[in-house]
Structure 1
């Protein structure tokens, strides 16, 4: 049986995040201010051509698929990696809900984008933090120094994403606390947290597994652009 997280982009944009979708019957993508992910219905020429139309003229698009996906016509690969997908089906351990953090809203979007641009946790756009559940920590001067939030939402599964800490404030356990809080909130809503990590990031994998995440699968993460 195909797991919904084997095709997270397609399934998110045909379920809880359908309101954020662009495209049509053969290919869909997130509205550009939110994310760069696209997905096709199948490997047919029609679907691949529809996917190609969703790749911006002056930008990039990304695929997240467990199965290796054909390249849409007129595009080329910019980056390609196999990443680890983890889920926490039995809940979260070690969450510190009393940790002092702030809810991030629309007025925080510029600061969230600036922090993500510095830390590069993955594709992040002007309105990515509006996908929900973003929390953060600011220093005494008001600068946003750490954050985490939610991104793709596939049926009962909600992704923890955009986890980053300013280089000047690493080693304080901020990421662990923020991930734990975001994931615990997801569990409290009756949903299952999940996330991605690079397989060679042993420190991150150890952190996620200490919170209750378990490795589910390896998936292909491919960034493409027009030729």
Structure 2
């Protein structure tokens, strides 16, 4: 049975939207139990997710807190960032889109099974093969992950990444190359979305601007592009301390 469309209330035009700084909202909200935090900066444990976040990316004090959190000369991903303070360097950047559920048909998939710690080696293998985005040994702790197996082999995967008040991100959507074209990703996205809707949240997701195939797929499923996004790798000021054998 399909679940009804749920929409979170929209902020006033003068207020920032919670999705504009989704990682911070997650790390200070439903994922606070996972957060490593110094003042106005937070991050996930390194084996859970690479993401760091700033309370206000325009506040120099937040950048100072991030430097204290991750250490000197460290390269780390940052979200909701356009520019960096003096002394910091942007090592790499990528453009993306943030898409929100506006007309998604969500329903459970009978063939989808919940994935747990015992499945991590197989999950990491499928992620390495398909490259949907970062997935680490403890990423599965971020939320529900569903998979489809055939002949005992994991052939498709999707799950939840950032979770913030009223919203949950769908991520790690991938299918083994030998099993594409069967609609497995579509069924898993709808199944993950059904679980998100069941607790009153609205699904959203991110895709690289260059991944036009994925964007078209998500639009056909009922997602709408909300805004352009930019993901950056930044290097903190200073040098890493030398290690001795």
What TM-score do you get using the length of structure 2 for normalisation? Answer: 0.82
Return closer, same or farther for 1:96/1:184 CA change in 2, 3 Å cut-off.
closer
CA contact (8 A) 2:51 2:76 kept: yes
Q: Does 1:221 align with 2:234?
A: no
Consecutive unaligned residues in structure 2, runs of 5 or more: 1-14, 240-245
Separation (CA, whole Å) in 2 of partners of 1:146 and 1:21: 29
Separation (CA, whole Å) in 1 of partners of 2:72 and 2:124: 22
The equivalences for 1:59-74 within 5 A come to 60-65=75-80, 68-70=82-84, 73=87
The equivalences for 1:93-104 within 5 A come to 93=105, 95=106, 97-104=108-115
> In the TM superposition, what is the alpha-carbon distance from 1:130 to its structure 2 partner?
2.0
Q: Deviations over 1:10-50 (max 9, x none)?
A: 11111111111002212101111210111123333332122
Separation (CA, whole Å) in 1 of partners of 2:127 and 2:54: 28
> In the TM superposition, what is the alpha-carbon distance from 1:175 to its structure 2 partner?
0.9
- Of 96, 120, 127, which residue of structure 2 is paired with 1:83? 96
Counterpart secondary structure, 1:175 = helix
Q: Kindly tell me the number of residue pairs found equivalent between the two proteins.
A: 222
CA contact (8 A) 1:99 1:177 kept: no
- Of 43, 60, 64, which residue of structure 2 is paired with 1:49? 64
Q: Deviations over 1:63-82 (max 9, x none)?
A: 221x5141584x54332112
Q: Does 1:208 align with 2:222?
A: no
The equivalences for 1:1-227 within 5 A come to 1-42=15-56, 43-55=58-70, 60-65=75-80, 68-70=82-84, 73=87, 76-90=89-103, 92-93=104-105, 95=106, 97-140=108-151, 142-225=152-235
CA contact (8 A) 1:157 1:191 kept: yes
> In the TM superposition, what is the alpha-carbon distance from 1:171 to its structure 2 partner?
1.6
Consecutive unaligned residues in structure 1, runs of 5 or more: none
What TM-score do you get using the length of structure 1 for normalisation? Answer: 0.88
CA contact (8 A) 1:63 1:220 kept: no
> In the TM superposition, what is the alpha-carbon distance from 1:156 to its structure 2 partner?
0.3
Q: Deviations over 1:118-171 (max 9, x none)?
A: 21111111111221110001221x221210000101110000001111122222
CA contact (8 A) 1:149 1:161 kept: yes
Bigger Rg, structure 1 or 2: 2
